[in-house]
A and B are shown apart, each in its own frame.
Chain A
Amino acid sequence: MGEKSFQLFPDAASSIAGSVDGLYAYMVLVSAFFSLLIAVLVVYFAIKYRRKDDSVPAPVDEHSIGGMILEIVWSVIPLGLSLVMFAWGASIFFTESKPPADAMEVFVTGKQWMWKIQHNEGAREINELHIPINRDIRLTMTSEDVIHDFYVPAFRTKADVLPGRYTTEWFRPTQLGEYHIFCAEYCGTKHSGMIGTVYVMSEPDYNKWLASGSGEGSMAEQGQALFNQLGCGNCHGSSINKNLGRCPNLVGIFGTTVDLKDGSRTRVDESYIRESILYPQAKIVAGYDDIMPTFKGLLTEDGLLKVVEYIRSLGPKNGAPASVPPSPTETTATESTTQPMGNAPQAGPGTQPRTGAKTGNR
């Protein structure tokens, strides 16, 4: 990246880049064909039929050259070609929108004008993102102020980063190297300074990098600490003390669908947990009263992400689709950091504590 002073085509460094480039090639070909067709015809007609005297040509009867047929032909062919573009683009987009279930979690907080990035294992960095090659990386992103956009041209993907909600982006780097991160949604004075670098590393290098990181514990552990510090457990209980009655227990709820008081249903995901912490009365689970106070102002965006991650680590009920056995590398990478999880009581029917903890720590 850095050493190249001039290039005409971006690096292609993610699993999706190839298909985007393929679609691009198709579109360039179609566009070039039609642009040239029109240009050649216009120039040719302009020369061939250039007026030589003051006479006016006999009107061309549209029917004699098949006017209606022509109109249909030049409507239907472009429509067909462009619907191919739609279908092709939509299928790529669908892939881009649906992160693989076992993707590695990274948390991104945008802030005027920097990117704060937290790894699940606890490592934190600013305007830099270190990731291992050939692993699916899932970014859960939010903003502390205005709308930003996390854009990595070499990965051909971007997504807006909004205040007040979580957005998701994922990619699978396939080339070692360093690539630009750009903020692609105008965010104020130093918008163009809100850039960073993705370092795609080999697996061993990445583990080495991770090991040299901070010792604050994993995201989930830090989230648990916040959870206890804010006294959430007094009501929501924990895995051992499951039923305190007044508040829903949070073990195993992530990814499930719950009934709400007003008769509707909602899926327990990152956004819902976030909303429930900040606006506890917005969607109350059926059978409970609105006794929870808001934690708006008490938690930073980083802190919120940690608590959300902690609740996620409490996992879905066993057998829920999201719990996939961790890969061996993950186990080594997270072995030491999973230990403090022992502080949390790990009993209780229907919960596989070890798996739950590791699922959360991936």
Chain B
Amino acid sequence: MITTAPPAVETKKNYLTEKEGLMSWLLTSDHKRIAILYLIAVVAFFFIGGLFAVLIRLELATPAGDLVDSNTYNKFFTMHGIIMVLFFLIPSIPAILGNFVLPMMIGAKDLAFPKINLLSWYIYMVGGVFTLYVLLSGGVDTGWTFYTPFSSSYSNGYVIAAGLGIFINGFSAILTGLNFIVTVHRMRAPGLTWFRLPLFVWAHYATSMIQVLGTPVIAVTLFLLVLERGLHIGFFDPAYGGDPVLFQHMFWFYSHPAVYIMILPSMGVVTEIITTFCSKKPFGYTFIAFSSVAIAVFGFLVWGHHLFVSSQSVYAGMVFSVLSYIVAIPSAIKVFNWTATMYKGSVRLETPMLYAIGFIGLFTVGGLTGLFLASLGMNVHLTDTYFVIAHFHYVMVGGAIMGFMGGIHYWWPKMFGVMYSQVWSKVAAIIIFMGFNLTFFPQFLLGYMGMPRRYHVYPAEFQVLNVLSSAGASILGVGYMVAFVYLVWSLKFGEKAGPNPWGATTLEWQTSSPPISENFEVTPVVTQEAYTYTSEEVVHVV
């Protein structure tokens, strides 16, 4: 694929060392440095959100509410949801890995609007500060879904501050998406046609479409909610003549596609990892590429499956149900194509590949259980139970976070020029996989038995499964901690990684590790399709 692969010149400074001092980071417009800024902030939010998860699982280890009172518990799961969904999952892969890798993958020096990129980080931080303020001043207890009229007229929490935090944060996602769209259209290296693009880029392009088209709707919805709560101007509360189901429509118009914001980039990461570690062109390139776009487009047509029991009309429910089944097909196509890519590949079970395989397994389960929830008759029984919790954690933790971890491990040598411990990283991957399944599989059973979500105390017959789940959560937590420790350790003590430790073919591996500030010594010219592996080109360094 590549014609210019300049050797890493040792004397040339890389993007990490070229400028020094805090201000050089805070005022940078280098997409790679902004990615690092995001990495630090997003991981911090991940651990805050994770702390709440730990507290939730601790409380649920016993049926009675003996650790905290109901009000506190409600704040725990609300903060867990808000932080994990809006401050971790949505920015995680696009803003960190996408920001870092996407311009390099298309042979560009930077994103189209570097200053807007930095601005989006600051907006994210301002949104984050609002959220932390909510957290420290007493929390919010509405659930991350903010359903009216509870949120607008009954909740005692800091709904307005939380709503503003999410509102502000939304613009960060919009700007990132806008930047990616323009970059992919305008900044590709010579010769890099659409069908030579790495599939990671396709996935991010589709993600950006959702961010740009969906996020404004949640912003205006929360804006109306804040008006209703703050000024008692009625929009959704029946007491003012409003329709609370309209809020749900507007909320899920964004928040269902938001699930695809979380999973599509992860799918892109997994595609990259699988092709690299099978040294093989992905099976069905065009199908994987177009399935990303199909998910983004059809993903906007299915939000009503969150409203089957909400007094939405039966006929609307039927339309949403059948559309939900149709949007499942592109995901199925991807899973089959990944599997087929491994066929007759040259499989190396390095750490990123372990995460990718874990992703395929967990995402398959997450996706298939989504089919249960798309079915009207089944949804009536299962919605708002732990089945839903298990389903979306299989998709978001088993899918999105596995992809994130895989991506971090895959591009870590590129980002920092160092390699982490191969042994510990594999151990951590296996611990995370086991812990995850132990945490969330019992929740499927709980859900079918009817345990509702957001329950602080629960009947005794649910305890055994809840204890299993809590045990799994502690294993999962250990897994993440181990990963955190050896990754940080590697920054200082890790072995130096070459420019292309995995023998990958995409453009970002054709420059030094860490890259120079301009990414490439010379703008690369692309003459081949993506993922063309030939025996000579692969440099196996590890």
Contact = CB atoms under 8 A, between A and B. Distances in A.
Direct contact of A and B (CB under 8 A): yes
Interface string A149-169: 101011011111011110100
B461 A96 contact: no
B459 A180 contact: yes
A78 B383 contact: no
A8 B464 CA distance: 10
A93 B325 contact: no
A46 B381 contact: no
Given A27-B372, A71-B287, A147-B150, A164 B238 contact: yes
Contact of A88 (B154, B365, B377, B460): B377
Contacts of A43: 357
A266 interface: no
Interface in A61-119: 62, 65, 67, 70-71, 74-75, 78-79, 82-83, 85-86, 88-94, 96-97, 112
A60 B360 contact: no
B384 A184 contact: yes
Please indicate which of the listed interface residues B339, B450, B456, B459 has the most CB atoms of chain A within 10 Å of its own CB: B450
Given A89-B321, A96-B377, A187-B150, A42 B361 contact: yes
A190 interface: yes
A71 B449 CA distance: 37
Given A45-B347, A92-B377, A191-B454, A151 B149 contact: no
A198 B261 CA distance: 42
A189 interface: yes
Contacts of A190: 70
B461 A49 contact: no
Contact of B284 (A19, A71, A185): A71
Contacts of B332: 74-75, 78
Interface in B305-343: 308-311, 314, 317-318, 321-322, 325-326, 328-329, 332-333, 335-337, 339-340, 342-343
Contact of A34 (B74, B368, B538): B368
B454 A186 contact: yes
Interface stretch (B101-109, B203-211, B273-281, B476-484): B273-281
A188 B450 contact: no
Nearest to B72: A189
Nearest to A85: B375
Contacts of A348: none
A143 to B, nearest CB: 9
B364 interface: yes
Given A56-B535, A90-B321, A192-B458, A163 B381 contact: no
Interface stretch (B83-91, B125-133, B170-178, B239-247): B239-247
B30 interface: no
A54 B239 CA distance: 71
A192 B314 CA distance: 28
A60 B347 CA distance: 14
A188 B533 contact: no
Given A158-B383, A192-B70, A85 B364 contact: no
B344 A57 contact: yes
Interface string A1-38: 10011111110000000011001100100110011001
B308 to A, nearest CB: 8
A93 B333 contact: no
Given A6-B461, A192-B457, A88 B149 contact: no
Given A27-B372, A50-B349, A186 B317 contact: no
A152 to B, nearest CB: 8
A159 B71 CA distance: 25
B149 A147 contact: yes
Contacts of A97: 314
Interface string B528-540: 0000011100101
A42 B274 CA distance: 11
A23 B379 CA distance: 11
Nearest to B307: A160
A279 interface: yes
A93 B461 contact: no
B297 interface: no
B531 to A, nearest CB: 9
B309 A50 contact: no
Given A30-B368, A38-B364, A149 B343 contact: no
Given A20-B377, A93-B317, A46 B349 contact: yes
B28 to A, nearest CB: 38
Given A31-B371, A45-B345, A59-B533, A147 B244 contact: yes
A156 B380 contact: yes
A193 B328 contact: no
B143 A45 contact: no
A321 to B, nearest CB: 19
Contacts of A112: 154
Contacts of B422: none
Contacts of A91: 377
Interface in B346-375: 346-349, 357, 360-361, 364-365, 368-369, 371-372, 374-375
A31 B328 CA distance: 13
B141 interface: yes
Nearest to A155: B381
A27 B373 CA distance: 10
B445 interface: yes
A71 B321 CA distance: 24
Contact of A60 (B343, B461, B463): B343
Contact of A8 (B314, B357, B445, B455): B445
A191 B455 CA distance: 7
Given A4-B461, A151-B450, 10 more contacts: A35-B364, A56-B535, A60-B344, A93-B376, A156-B381, A157-B380, A165-B238, A184-B385, A192-B70, A193-B457
11 contacts: A27-B371, A49-B342, A51-B346, A62-B283, A82-B328, A96-B377, A158-B381, A164-B238, A180-B450, A186-B74, A193-B70
Interface of B: 65, 70-71, 74, 141-143, 145, 147, 149-150, 153-155, 238-239, 241, 244-245, 278-281, 283-284, 287, 308-311, 314, 317-318, 321-322, 325-326, 328-329, 332-333, 335-337, 339-340, 342-349, 357, 360-361, 364-365, 368-369, 371-372, 374-381, 383-385, 445, 448-450, 452-461, 463-464, 533-535, 538, 540
The 5 closest A-B pairs by CB, nearest first: A153-B450, A164-B238, A92-B377, A89-B375, A93-B376
Interface of A: 1, 4-10, 19-20, 23-24, 27, 30-31, 34-35, 38-39, 41-43, 45-46, 49-51, 54-57, 59-60, 62, 65, 67, 70-71, 74-75, 78-79, 82-83, 85-86, 88-94, 96-97, 112, 145-147, 149, 151, 153-154, 156-160, 162-165, 167, 180, 182-193, 195, 279
